[in-house]
Amino acid sequence: MIIKQVSVFLENKSGRLNEVTKILADAEINLSAFTIADTSDFGILRMIVSHPDKACAVLKENEFSVKTTDVVLAKTPNKPGSLSKLLDILQKEEVFIEYMYAFSMKDEGAVTVIRPTRVERCVEMLQKHKTELLRADELYQL
């Protein structure tokens, strides 16, 4: 239920993101979701990929600062109010969030990537409230 997210340190300069995606493409790694946290002079690229360990290895070979972070992927129906309901659970159970991002697909529902301060507790609480969590092996089908 715990998914490894791959994070990469990027300087704000042209072409850097594309270099990462090319390296991943050459290694035949699929990107399911990503987001960039940006500041005035650097950014952090966070990605959900098909093969996190392999992605880390190839990026390190290419001199990037990379690390994996445990995140939780919650699947909710693609309709109004689902995210609010998810957040209600987290708030009530005192699961604090460092950051999150989401993507949705028309029929298959929406997926929210959550980076909680305490990953185990987040998983436990969401399961308690019957929230569907994605497993690593399901990621290929996203």
Partner 1 sequence: MIWNEKIECASRDEMAAVQSERLKQTVQRIYHNIPSYRAKMQEIGMLPGDVRSVEDLKKLPFTNKTDLRDNYPFGMFTVPMSEIVRVHASSGTTGKPTVVGYTRNDLSMWAEVVTRSLCMSGVTRNDIVQVAYGYGLFTGGLGLHYGTENLGATVIPISGGNTQKQIQLMQDFGSSVIACTPSYALFLAEVMQEMGIDPEELKLRVGIFGAEPWSESMRKEIEAKLKLKAIDIYGLSEVIGPGVSCECEHQVGMHVNEDHFIPEILDTETLQPVAPGEVGELVFSTITKEGIPILRYRTRDLTRLIYDKCECGRTLVRMEKCKGRSDDMLIIRGVNVFPSQIESVLLEMSETEPHYLLIVEREGTLDVLKLMVEVQEQFFSDEVRELEKLKKKITHNIQSTLGISVDVKLVEPKTIERTAGKAKRVIDNRKI
Which chain residues interact with partner 1 by CB under 8 A? 5, 7, 9-11, 16, 37, 39, 41-42, 44, 46, 60, 63-67, 69, 98-99
Closest CA to 47 of 117, 64, 81: 64
Q: Are 45 and 12 in contact (CB under 8 A)?
A: no
Q: Which is nearer to partner 1, 47 or 74 (CB)?
A: 47
Smallest separation, CB 115 to partner 1 (Å): 8
Smallest separation, CB 43 to partner 1 (Å): 9
Q: Which is nearer to partner 1, 29 or 43 (CB)?
A: 43
Closest CA to 78 of 104, 112, 113: 104
Separation CA 48–CA 24 (nearest Å) = 12
Smallest separation, CB 97 to partner 1 (Å): 11
Q: Are 112 and 87 in contact (CB under 8 A)?
A: no
Q: Which is nearer to partner 1, 38 or 94 (CB)?
A: 38
Smallest separation, CB 80 to partner 1 (Å): 30
Smallest separation, CB 94 to partner 1 (Å): 20
Q: Are 46 and 98 in contact (CB under 8 A)?
A: no
100: which strand partners? 114
Q: Which is nearer to partner 1, 64 or 103 (CB)?
A: 64
Q: Which is nearer to partner 1, 9 or 140 (CB)?
A: 9
Q: Are 90 and 118 in contact (CB under 8 A)?
A: no
Q: Are 96 and 135 in contact (CB under 8 A)?
A: no
